[in-house]
Amino acid sequence: MFLLWLRVAAVLYAIASISALPAVLYNKPGWKRICVPAAVSAFFFHFVSLIEMLSASHHSLPAGMHEVQSLLGLLICGAFLLVAVLYRTVSFGIFALPLSLLLVLGSAMGPDHWTFHSPEIRSGWISLHIFALLAAYAALIFSLFANLLYLVQERRLKNKTQVRFLAWLPPLETMERIASGMLLIGFPFMTLGLLAGSLIAQESVGPVYFRDPKVLLSFAMWALYLVMLFVRRQAGLRGRRAVYLSSLVFLVVISVWAANQLSSVHRFTAP
């Protein structure tokens, strides 16, 4: 029965993680009313699942890898809820809730890892994985172009040079908004693509997929992307420093993409 509660907790963690993004990054306070109740419910079902898991194993402390992962995810969610209550903020939810979801996802699949019911469904998830990541890359490329044009326009205005073929460049504020907007658009697609890829990986090769350094690098890249968005918003980072930070994240993303093409386990063939 603990597996059922853990799967319910995983779904609630996913809802809380998704709602935390617009609440924090896009300044949509209405999503906070979804994020916190979903996180509280996820914590409750996760706690019940962990107690039943330990009871079924006939020991009071976690021993196996899945039990340790489950307890760690529960503690991370508990820390987030404590901060949310004491400081009235859900900002840390964009880090804590996806991490809790990732920690329980493997255990929620069960000892016999989940499989797709039909080749058409599996093929659809592969298509979603590819489309979402390509959309994220497109948004990042567009953001990089806006960043480069921002630097050109800034230098042009600073030196007071009148170059005719650069007269078409929009104001600095406009290009900064374009670059920032493209980053915000790319992040949900990046998240969706990685989650879809994780589900496919669980069905294809099992947990060994997550031992591949290149896959771990992909999740580290996602975390860096998230940190960059968080810093830009919380610190009000603007101008040249924001451009350099965004460009750095883009270069890391491209490096991870190139590394994944050489991965020995990053291969999913459609049926």
- Which domain covers residue 74, as residue numbers? 2-108
pTM, two decimal places: 0.58
The overall average pLDDT reported for the chain is: 75
Same domain, 53 and 151: no
Same domain, 64 and 193: no
246 part of a folded domain: yes
266 part of a folded domain: no
**Number of CB atoms found within 10 A of residue 242's CB:** 21
- Is-contact 26 3, C-beta < 8 A? no
133's torsion region: left (phi>0), alpha (psi -120 to 50) or beta? Answer: alpha
- pLDDT, average across residues 248-259: 71
269 part of a folded domain: no
Q: Residue 48: give its domain's CATH number.
A: 1.20.120
200 vs 169, which has greater pLDDT?
200
Nearest-angstrom CA–CA distance, 52 and 56: 6
| pLDDT surpassing 60 at residue 269 | no
- pLDDT, average across residues 77-94: 85
Q: CA 104 → CA 101, 229, 243, 251, distances in Å?
A: 5, 25, 36, 30
| pLDDT surpassing 70 at residue 13 | yes
pLDDT of residue 86: 85
Same domain, 17 and 67: yes
User: DSSP string of 202-222?
Assistant: HHHTGGGGGG-HHHHHHHHHH
Percentage, residues of the chain above pLDDT 90:
10
pLDDT of residue 87: 78
Domain end residue (candidates: 86, 108, 130):
108
φ/ψ of 59, rounded to 5, equals -150, 155
The number of domains in the chain is 2
| pLDDT surpassing 80 at residue 108 | no
